Structure 1
């Protein structure tokens, strides 16, 4: 059965991408490798990162695809491969992954949601920026280093105290 994705060229998408080992901290331990993987793929297959947060074992990102282009799956595949190749082989690899010459770092699939309007975009940006607080890594969103929240604050798009109080953020439907 073929997995169905929302494929609209030039659209904006929210993604959740997970490591295979949900107790791992590879993404934050090797965030520079992850950044390099993103830059390398963006040079060859452009896309705009609107917002992003990197957690120890998963990440959330909002991308705007180039007009006429919808191949976000290729980009994620290349990012995962570049990140994985830069790490030493220490993970357990299942027989099925071995047969396919895959590493055991990432979950095979990712989750995507096509952003439908400005309100949907704002809710997803808030959700990803608040994610480190939700998972208990920090008490306030601005304390998490691996987040585009800092750029939003620098540009004056969000107040420095944004995310200090969970009640001020409308995260309905994201539990």
Structure 2
């Protein structure tokens, strides 16, 4: 089964190709790492998977859904995404478990009602990742590494079919990198 299929995907900004004619397929149970220098287009490519960025040309199919012919918000709920750019969008007063819980809705903050069972699930996920000490702690008092691990827990909350880690070690010390 094909999880991801990019056909002739290009991205042009100011008449310059940042990505040009990308053909890429990912099959179920494959794990990929995209390596390259700063500015090479790695994050652009990942944003196209999540639907937060649209190519200038080409076609993308993710999880059997073709962009342009499917509901982007519904598809985004099936994709877990961790990015340092996402980290800065959260409110400092939110508790770690609330941020994890927001992963169910792919939202920044909680705007929908939730069941107590879902909050328990968010806390259990933090505990499973060795982060039970962060429960009831405000996001703004967490270290950079703790915030990154909360973001990973958030991405896993909805049990995504794809998990994308965009520079997951940014801001992590040596020990946190090893743990990740």
> Normalised by the size of structure 1, how large is the TM-score?
0.28
Give the TM-score, by structure 2 length: 0.27
Greater RCO, 1 or 2 (C-alpha within 8 Å, sep 6+): 1
Q: Which has the higher strand share?
A: 2
